Every structure is written in C-alpha cells, then in structure tokens.
Structure 1
Amino acid sequence: MTTVLALSRLTGDVLRSLRDHLRPLIACHLFFTLLASGLLLPAAGWALAHLLARLERPLVSHAAVLEALLTPIGLGWLLALLALAFLVLYLQQAGLTLVAVRPRDHHLKLAVDALWTCLRRLPSLSGLALLQVGSQLALLLPVALAVLVLHDRLLGDLDPDYLRQVRPPALWHFLATAAPAVLGWALAAAALYTRWHLALPVLILEGATPRRALARSARLTRGRGHGIAAAILVLLAALLALPLAATALFDAAFTPLLARLPERPALLMPAMLGYVSAYTLVALAATFVGIAANALLGACLYLRLAHREPRPPTPPPGAHPGRLAWGVELGVIAIAVTQAWLMLQAGEIRERVDIVAHRGSSRAAPENSLAAIERAVREGADLVEVDARLTADEAVVLHHDRSLARLAGDARRIAALDRAALTALRLTGPRGGASRVAGLDEALTRVRGRAGLMIELKGEPGREARLVARVGEVLAAEARARRRCRDRAADGVRRAACGDPRVMRRVALASLSYPTLSEIAERLPAARRILLAQLTLRGALPRRGFDILALRHNRVDAAAVRRADRHGYALYAWTVNDPARMSRLIDLGVDGIITDRPGRLRALLAERHRLGDGALMLVKLHNWLRQ
C-alpha cells in the first residue's frame, strides 16, 4: 500500500511539474529535436555511407548487415552512432531537468540558461553517456555471443521457414537453453539502469564528475530499487498508451464525421487538412509529454531522495512566457499544418498494382505446387512467384527450402536427389493437402496465356551460374513449344492459349544475390531482373542492375517509393496478407504486392475501384492513422 501511495504521489508531482514549466519545456524539447535532426541523422548517414564505401559490397539482408557490423569498421561505426544518439538524448534530458529545477521569473532567460549550462557540461555528459552505455554493452556482449554460438550449433543447418512453420524440437531446445542467459541479462541491465537512474540529475545539478554521479546515484537508490523500477514501468506503459489512445480517439470520434461530408474538394480538402493538423498536434504533444515526463521523473526522484523535496518549486508569480512562448506555439502549429499538407499532397490515388502470388496461392494449396499455381491464376494473379532449384541431375524444380524437412519430413537436400526421386515424394500443404515437387517446365505450361511467372533463383553455393544457365535453357524450350503450339492453332483463341513465344515478356528472374543478377544480365539480357531485399541502407543499394526491387513490406515507406520513381525501377512489397496493410501499401504507391492470398488482394482492388475519389481519400487517411 505504501508503494502504491508513493507511486501515486510521484505521478502527481511529475504532472504538476509538467504543468508549471510547460512552455520552457516545450522550447527545450524543440531545440533538441532540431539538434537531433540537424546533427545526429546527417552524421549517421554520412558515417554509414563512408562505412559502406569501405566495405564495397551491397547490404540488402539482415545477415549481411550483421556480418558488416561485426567487422572492426562496422563495430566502430555502430559504437560512434550509439554514442552520438545517447549524447543528444542526455543533453535533452539535462536541459529539461534544469528548466524544471531552476525556475526564473522569465521563461526566455530560463530556457537560454538551461541550454548554455548543458553545453558547458558537454564533456561531463559525454563521459556519463560513455560509462552508462558502455556498461550496458559490456553486459550484453557476452550474452549475445553465447546466443549466436548456440544458434549456430543447434539451428545453423536448418532452414528458417522450417523453423518458423514446423517448430522442431531443436528450436525449443535452443530457446530453453538461451532463455536463462537472456533473462539474466535483462534483470542485470534493469538493475543497473535503476541503480544509475539519478546519475544525470546529480551530474547536471550538483556539478559532479561522471564517476561521482554514478556513485551518488547508487547511494541514493540503495534499497529503493523496486519502487523506482515500478515508477519507470508505469511511465513506460503510459508512453506506449498515449499514441495508441490518440489514434483510437480520432479513429472513433472524428473519422466518421469526415465520412459524412459531401465529396466536394472545396469542402473536403480543408476539413481533411484541419483533421490531419489536429492529429499531428496531438501526436507531437504525446511525444513531448513522454520525453518531458521521463526527465521530470528523474528530477522529482532526485529532489525527494537527495533534498527531501517532493518536486521542483513552482515558478515565481511574476513569471511570464514572453515572445518565446508565442514563437514556440506558432512554430508547433506551423509544423503540424505543414506535415498535414505534405501528407495530403502525397495522397495521389494510384490503384494499378501487380498481384504477385507468393509460391502460388500458398494459403489455399501446397506452396510451389501445380495446384497452388493453378489456384493463383484463377484468383487473378498477374505474376505467380515460384522458387527454382537444381537437382542432382540438373533439372530445375520448384521448392523453397534447401531440404525436404519442412514439407516431407525428410532431411535430404534437393541438390542431392534427382528429379525422378523428388517426383515420387509426397509433400504436405495447408488443410491436409498434398502434392509432389513440380518442374519449372510444368509451371510454364500452366501459366501459358494466362499469367506471368516470377522465378526466384535458389542456387546452392558454387552452382548459381549453372542454375541461371539451366533456367535459360528451360525458358528457351518453352519458347519453342509455344511457337509450335501457335503454328498448329486453328484460330486466334487457341493461339492466345498457347502463350506469347516471347517468354521473357511475361517472366521475371529474382534473386537475393547481386552476383546472380549479374549472371542473369550476362546470360539472359532480355530477362527482367528482380532484387529481393529485406532492407535498404543509404549507400548500400546500387541503383542499377535490376528492374524491380522487391522489398520486405515493413521496410516500404514513402521515401522508398520516391527513390524508386527517381531511379526508374519498380517497387514490390513482400509478403502481405492483411487487407489493411495491402491498402496502406497501395496508398503509398507501390507497383506490386506479393501475397499468399492473391484472391484477397484482387477483391480489395475491386472494392477500391468502386469507391469515389473522396471515399478513397478517407481510406488513405484511415490507413495513415493506423500506420
């Protein structure tokens, strides 16, 4: 009960301090936000571009990024970026703390004094950030290395899709073995964070050195760790709840009002501008409240434990905002209106999206099977994506994983078996469905005159070039078969069913590997090339060598769409099955969506086509709020 009462009083002290010092707190917050956007982001981008230039290789997957970061250059860049990020954060927290604890009779003088004190204490703040962040990294490093070693030994040879879908005993063994180490690290890191929680207020208010600030924080918090941890968790929960509550409020209370407006641009656009401006103001306010509350929590705890004072003193009666407050408030409103205007200006309605069936209609039939391909074509897919591998006798078959473990319970690899042996096996699929391993030649026959094919090349190490060559031979054979079919056809309908003998017009070859794309360009210059990427980093993605970038859907944003338009390549998003996310990506302007459910995407596009422009703008607004 005492802890609950103390927590309640502490929450009240934080809120009253926020109210008493609101305007100078806003001024400091905006200053440091501008500092972060003007210093941290450009510096990080420059350093990353320099790093990638030194590495001289593209990074489009998480594994490649991790490998790059584990190099001496990569570790140096990561540590420098962390140091800079935390330094800006510490500067901001120090400024907010000074604003609250040292009130003056003039807000402008208070804000300027706080900023000047922070800059004078910059070396000490840098030392404190180095000690605290370095200590946390020292705790994390051995645990991270141990988990990586465990993963390599227990799961290194298993396919990720097999682990995710089958969840074999080896996965549970790994999790059970790694969990105690991860839990131990989490508890140790939380204890250290709680113990040193007051180091920043001690350093900035008492002028202590970084080491003495840490030691004094440890003395002040001794025996009170559980209460401080509870306060921090309550604050964290509030920070997470604020933006969610704001979105839910606008979605429930105000979005329906817009839907009732007539579709007249003279009325609808100003209403949407006001709506988005108000939402942006609420979002900015929620961000500010979270950052300021974190600083005030430390200040209130410090005053209570070090000086027996419940909270920072209330400003003198004569305090007044002056021109600073008006300038800050007008600046915030200008930012909100500008963001709203840019958002609405980006509201171009683009409804033409390629439907790409991921491994066929793989939620309705076994992936990569002829049944899945047939189902995808019937559901309206423009392209059917399949995975191509070489067998022991160099046939090109369709299978995603290296081995048959996930779909057949057989640990043997595709590359170790010939086509006849693979054809004899039965693969399992959703809803108890079964299939056999199909050949690329069969898939090409199924889509003739009906859909295109996106072929992802899954080459074994050392056999990538041979896979490209064999795929080229299969495509050439299909072109000859289509020409023979058209020569024998009696009428135009039957000729159309034979498919276009210019096969490359309806086929695209995809890979995660730049060398493989280069091999495709050399051997099959007429083929469209698709680069598959989990992420893109500044300076890590050459803008040539592919026609389409297929990017993981949670990495697709407006900037990625603008880059694609600027550099002249198409942008696909993978793999998306949720209609709300599909709608959001359509609104962003992607050129294609790769999905396990092509029928669902086709139905969504048909539904959107039935809407008027005003209704579509409301859909876009709703999607933006959900995002």
Structure 2
Amino acid sequence: MADRPGPWASGRFDVEGHRGAKGLVVENTLASFAAAYDAGVTGVELDVRLTADGEVVVWHDPVLLPLKCLSTGPDLVGARVADLTLAQLRTVDVGSQTLAAFPDQRPSPGARISTLDEVLAHGLERSPDVWWTIEVKVDPRDAGESGNRRRLLEGVLSSLHAAGLERQCFIHSFDWAVLELSALLAPTVTRSALVESGVTWVPGSPWTGSVVAGTTHEDVCDGAAAVGAQVISPEHVLVDEPFVERAHGAGLAVLPWTVNEAARMVELVEAGVDGLVSDYPDRALSVLAPCPA
C-alpha cells in the first residue's frame, strides 16, 4: 500500500465516513462529521456544489428535497442549489428531519448547509489528521453544471490550499473530466475516480472524460488511470479480488462505496481493498479492528 498515495500509505486501513456519518447523524452536517471523528475515522467523504453566488457548499443533492429540508423563511424546498445564494440556503433547516431508511440516524436540529471552508475548519479543529474525500458534484449531462465545472473545482482547490490540506485529500468525482482538469490545475493533489455499476463504464458514457469505454480502453481500471486518477472508488458490488488485482496493477488504490453490512466489509478487506466508505464508520471500525492493515 505504501506506493499508493493516501491514508493507507502509512499502513492503515482507511475507514471513511460517508457524508460525515450518515447512518448516525443527518448527513453533511457538522454534527455528522463530528460523529465520524468521534468514531475514529481515518477519512471523511463529502459532496460539494456551487451556489448562485459562487460559494462552495457541502451538500449532496442538486435540489432541496422535502425529506431533508425545512424552510424557515421563504419556501425554498424543491429549488436548485445552483439557483440559490448562500444567504438563501442558510434559511433552510437541513438537520431536523431524519430518514426512515436510517433508523439510528440522529437529528441535528436547526443545522444549516455549511460552506466547504467551514467544514474543513471544523475538521481541522476536531481531527486534524483526517483525510478528505471531496466529491465534486458535476453532472456532465447538465449544461449548467458542466459549464461551471472549472469554477467549482477552482473553489475547492482554493479552500484546500487555504486550509493546508492539499496533501491530505482526494478530488473525487463521477465526472472524470473533473479529474483531468484537476490534474492540470493541481497536479500534486490526489485524484479519485468514482464508478457506478451500469452507469460509468458503459459504451457511450458521458462520465469518463476523454476516455471511451471499450474503445480507448477495455478495462475500467486502465481508463481511470488514463484520466490521471490514483484512486478508483467503485460501487462495492463491482469489487472482488480480481478487480483489486487489476486496479493495483494499474497503480490505483481501491476505495469502494458505500459499504454498510459487516459481512461485506470483511469480504472486501479479504479481497485486498485499501479502504472503504460507510454510512456507519463506527460499525466498520468495530468489524475491521481485528483485521490486519
């Protein structure tokens, strides 16, 4: 593992909390990140988007969904994050509602959408050694999002630079064009290629930047390496020992998502992955504690 950049380079198995610790506290809130730090994670995964006034905020969905968002001022539920200013987003309570699919999820009443700068500052205070897996949310099929790809990425890189975290993070995206651009703008920042089963590595996929599945490259691992990734982050159902061997052969670390079942965590460790992303990082750390790094 030492020849692949990341938290595993020190010999640790990397357990990353998904959107903070989504299974424990409402996602992408400061309280959710705190729960991940308290669990003892080596890394956290989060999502970033651009507001209408150019602020980089930590939020997953392109729109404010009613199951997650409560308006405290004008009714903004259903609006696109990209169409709202930071001030408008601050009026929305994103912490009071829990999701039925996560019965152990605790609320964070009154929580607001945070900027990336705020989340990084909070993390540096609480857990300065944690690694940051920052998913740059760009849908290449959406003209607005793809048109703002560079602006969003530049904002993320600026925040990482200001926080001194350029050597402690991954630029992480399903849109591999983000990774190619990041290689140009910040070549020393590690890049992670996300892969979704049946979506990313298929003929005609718009997600793979300048590489073309089945044309320029046959194997997804070779394709990810070709766009400058040092990490491949596949949906966990894609991962078995041969996949890990191909990835490692291409010089890539393997960081599957989102792994919540204990038995599957053990299978993936035995297959040789370098880390995993989980909604329940406490569970992962407990299950994997006896496993060798």
TM class, shorter-length: 0.7 to 0.9
**Cα pair distance change 1:352/1:478, threshold 3 Å:** closer
Q: How many residues align?
A: 236
Deviation for aligned residue 1:432: 4.2
Deviation for aligned residue 1:558: 1.4
The answer for unaligned runs of 5 or more in structure 1 is 1-350, 480-502, 610-627
Please point out which of 192, 195, 198 is paired with 1:533: 195
Cα distance per residue 1:293-319 (max 9 Å; x no partner) = xxxxxxxxxxxxxxxxxxxxxxxxxxx
Q: CA RMSD in A?
A: 1.7
Verify: 1:424 aligned to 2:91, yes or no: yes
Could you say what secondary structure the match of 1:594 adopts?
A: strand
Cα distance per residue 1:327-346 (max 9 Å; x no partner) = xxxxxxxxxxxxxxxxxxxx
Cα distance per residue 1:566-617 (max 9 Å; x no partner) = 11110111101110000010000001111001111111122346xxxxxxxx
- Corresponding residue number in structure 1 for 2:210: none
C-alpha distance in 2 between matches for 1:561 and 1:431: 35
Verify: 1:468 aligned to 2:153, yes or no: yes
User: Match of 2:69, as an amino acid?
Assistant: A
Matches within 5 A, 1:407-486: 407-408=68-69, 410-427=77-94, 428-429=97-98, 430-434=105-109, 435-448=111-124, 449-459=128-138, 460-479=145-164
Please point out which of 264, 271, 280 is paired with 1:588: 271
User: Match of 2:184, as an amino acid?
Assistant: E
Matches within 5 A, 1:254-333: none
Structure ranking higher on relative contact order (CA contacts 8 Å, 6+ apart): 2
The answer for unaligned runs of 5 or more in structure 2 is 1-10, 71-76, 99-104, 139-144, 202-212
Q: Which protein has the bigger strand share?
A: 2
- Corresponding residue number in structure 2 for 1:522: 184
Check the 8 A contact 2:26/2:107 in 1, yes or no.
no
Please point out which of 165, 170, 181 is paired with 1:508: 170
C-alpha distance in 1 between matches for 2:287 and 2:16: 14
**Cα pair distance change 1:476/1:352, threshold 3 Å:** closer
User: Match of 2:242, as an amino acid?
Assistant: A
Check the 8 A contact 2:19/2:27 in 1, yes or no.
yes
Check the 8 A contact 1:377/1:450 in 2, yes or no.
no
Matches within 5 A, 1:331-410: 352-405=12-65, 406-408=67-69, 410=77
C-alpha distance in 2 between matches for 1:553 and 1:376: 20
TM-score (norm 2): 0.76
Could you say what secondary structure the match of 1:454 adopts?
A: strand
Deviation for aligned residue 1:564: 1.2
Could you say what secondary structure the match of 1:585 adopts?
A: helix
C-alpha distance in 1 between matches for 2:38 and 2:173: 26
**Cα pair distance change 1:447/1:593, threshold 3 Å:** same
Q: Which protein has the bigger helix share?
A: 1
Could you say what secondary structure the match of 2:162 adopts?
A: helix
Deviation for aligned residue 1:352: 4.5
Could you say what secondary structure the match of 2:26 adopts?
A: coil
Could you say what secondary structure the match of 2:183 adopts?
A: helix
Please point out which of 279, 285, 289 is paired with 1:602: 285
C-alpha distance in 2 between matches for 1:444 and 1:353: 22
Could you say what secondary structure the match of 1:518 adopts?
A: helix
Cα distance per residue 1:15-56 (max 9 Å; x no partner) = xxxxxxxxxxxxxxxxxxxxxxxxxxxxxxxxxxxxxxxxxx
**Cα pair distance change 1:432/1:366, threshold 3 Å:** closer
Check the 8 A contact 1:507/1:527 in 2, yes or no.
yes
Larger Rg: 1
> Percent same amino acid among aligned pairs?
33
Could you say what secondary structure the match of 2:153 adopts?
A: helix
TM-score (norm 1): 0.36
C-alpha distance in 1 between matches for 2:168 and 2:253: 15
